Chain A
Amino acid sequence: GAVVSQHPSWVICKSGTSVKIECRSLDFQATTMFWYRQFPKQSLMLMATSNEGSKATYEQGVEKDKFLINHASLTLSTLTVTSAHPEDSSFYICSAGGQARNEQYFGPGTRLTVT
C-alpha cells in the first residue's frame, strides 16, 4: 500500500516552454502533497505544500507564479514549471501525506532538463 506515482519520469524541454508534472497517490487519498526539488549532490528542498481544494503554501524564495501547483483531487497534484529555463533543470520529487501527520510517501521523482 501507500504507492505514489509521478509522470513523466523524465522530460526534456526547450527554454521558455512549460512542463507539467503529475503526482498521484494510487491506493490512498492524500489531503496533503509536498513538492521537493533536488539539485545534484544536494539534499531535498521543500518547494511547496499543497492541500486538496485550497491554494498551495510556498516556501520562501520559491516563485508561485513560476511553479504552479494544483491539487484538484485527493489523489492528484500537479506542478507546472512555467517558462522553464536551464537553471530549473533538477530532480522534482513529490510526496503524499498519509493518515497520520508524520507519514509521507514519496514518488519516484521526475528528472527535468531544460535546454
Chain B
Amino acid sequence: GQNIDQPTEMTATEGAIVQINCTYQTSGFNGLFWYQQHAGEAPTFLSYNVLDGLEEKGRFSSFLSRSKGYSYLLLKELQMKDSASYLCAAMDSNYQLIWGAGTKLIIKP
C-alpha cells in the first residue's frame, strides 16, 4: 500500500533550527512535496524534490533520498510565524499526491 509517515507534533524555539522528517512508500514516484498549512487555510507550496540531494530556498531546505524513501524539511532561524502544520506529500506513478497527516510545529519564544 501507499503510506506517508511524519511526526505528529514538534516543538522548537524561536531562532533555532528544526528538521521535520518524512518517510514514504508509493507505487512509483514522481517527486516529494512539502507544504505549509496555517490553521483554517489551504496548503501553500514550499518545496519539490525529485532527485536525491538538498534543495535550499532561503530559510527552508528540503532533502530527498529516493533509495531510502526519506525526506526532510529543514527550517532555520525559526520565526513565530513558522508555527503551522507541515505536510509531506509524495506523487505516485499516476501523478496523484499521497499526503502525510502533517506535522504541527509549535514555536516557543
Q: Is the CB of B43 within 8 A of A106?
A: yes
Q: How many A-B residue pairs have CB under 8 A?
A: 39
| Given A44-B43, A46-B96, A102-B31 contact (CB < 8 Å) | yes
Q: Mark B82-109, 1 if CB is under 8 A from A, else 0.
A: 0000010001000111011110000000
Check if B95 sits within 8 Å of A102, measured CB to CB.
yes
- Asked if B58 CB lies within 8 Å of chain A CBs, one says no
Contacting pair A101 B95 (CB below 8 A): yes
Q: How far is the CA of A21 from the CA of B50 in the complex (A)?
A: 33
Whether B99 contacts A44 by the Cβ 8 Å rule is yes
Interface residues on B, range: 10 to 19
Given A102-B31, A106-B43, A109-B42, CB of A43 within 8 Å of CB of B48: no
Q: Are B41 and A44 interface neighbours, CB within 8 A?
A: no
From A44, A45, A108, A109, give the contact of B87 (CB < 8 A): A44
Inside 8 A of A49's CB, which chain B residues have their CB? 96
Residues 57-87 (chain B) with a chain A CB within 8 angstroms: 87
Assess the A108–B42 pair: CB atoms within 8 A: yes
B40 proximity list for chain A (CB < 8 A): 91, 111
13 A-B pairs with CB atoms under 8 Å apart are A34-B97, A43-B87, A43-B101, A46-B97, A91-B40, A93-B42, A101-B95, A102-B31, A102-B50, A106-B42, A106-B43, A109-B41, A111-B40
13 additional A-B pairs beyond A46-B97, A106-B42, A108-B41, beta carbons within 8 Å, are: A42-B101, A43-B99, A43-B100, A44-B97, A44-B99, A49-B96, A93-B43, A102-B48, A102-B50, A102-B95, A105-B45, A106-B45, A109-B41
